[in-house]
Amino acid sequence: TELLRTVSFVDAPGHETLMAIMLSSAAIMDGAVLVIAANEQCPQPQTREHLTALDIAGIKNIVIIQNKIDLVTEEEAAQHYQQMKDFVKGTCAEDAPIIPVCAHHDINIDVLIQAIERFIPTPNRDLEKPPLMYIARSFDINKPGARPDRMTGGVIGGSLIQGTIKEGSEIEIAPGRDIVEKGRKKVERIKTSVDSLFTGGLSVKEATPGGLIAIGTKLDPARTKSDSFSGKVVGKPDQLPPTLDSFTLEVTLLKRVVGTIEEKAVEQIKTNEPLMLTIGTATTVGVVTESHDNTVIVTLKLPVCANEGQRIAISRRIDGRWHLIGFGEIQI
């Protein structure tokens, strides 16, 4: 057996959360596996929404799984296969391979792995770009009652989307922490150094894009515990995107609201409306101060670190819950 490469999968607890991640974090995904149950008519509403999100996000390397083939006859599987072919015609998944699978009995898993290896290649990455990492988690790995001289610094984990990070290098974290200067509240970026690097459970000297990485830092672990750094970004000092507390969005709305029992058309965004915005791993509420056709200006409750042109997912509060309604591109 020869190790060809390691593949990481991105999933999320909940349909709407997954959709938001797909729309706002396409930069960390090299491809997608679209799973469709053979014992259900195709397409189901969620399947249609997932394919729409893949189309919007520009993810073109796709493998389709026809799962649960053990629950249908050969004739039903063939009919369902044709439904799937008709469904993806004219979309980003039109040329995607369809692999019949029974995950429960591990049938065709080897063929699926071959398809992932062939149709979702590792892209050529520009490692000379300034490093940029989305923080998804942060924690304190010290045991309660540990002696101060034996404690280790806080740990941050997430996805490196460009460049490289090396052990011993200086890093900056943004937006950072709230401080009061001359009676005014402001956000100060945090600088520290990389004490250790881990990926796939292994200690490494250098991390490159692909999969998840963990960075051991010199930060006070009390500051990083309980995912308190989630949503921030990491890079070299003075090379990170700007910290924003407001911006203009060029908005593209979906045809229907994601995650509602009844089909609901998406209405235009209104002035003074609160929106939930997902930007990479960051989530913040923004209040619409101006709205004109497909352009809106939002003021954020929590600042974010983002580039012009970066894509974000937009959710609206409907029936007491946040539901995905579209995406926008930042105009600074």
Integer CA distances (angstroms), 133 to 214, 262, 265, 300, 312, in order: 11, 38, 36, 22, 16
Q: Cα separation of 47 and 263, whole Å?
A: 14
Residues 271-313 have pLDDT tens digits of 999 999 988 889 999 999 999 989 999 999 999 999 999 988 8
φ, ψ at 60 (rounded to 5°): -110, -20
Count the Cβ atoms, other than its own, within 10 Å of residue 53.
Answer: 23
CA distance 59 to 168: 34
The whole-number pLDDT of residue 13 equals 54
Kindly give the parts of the chain with pLDDT less than 50. Answer: none
pLDDT for 50: 84
Please, what are the domains in the chain? 31-119 (3.40.50.300), 132-235 (2.40.30.10), 243-331 (2.40.30.10)
Q: Are 66 and 80 a contacting pair, CB within 8 Å?
A: yes
**What is residue 41's predicted lDDT score, i.e. its pLDDT?**
94
Give the pLDDT score at 14. Answer: 62
What pLDDT, on the 0 to 100 scale, is given for residue 182? Answer: 80
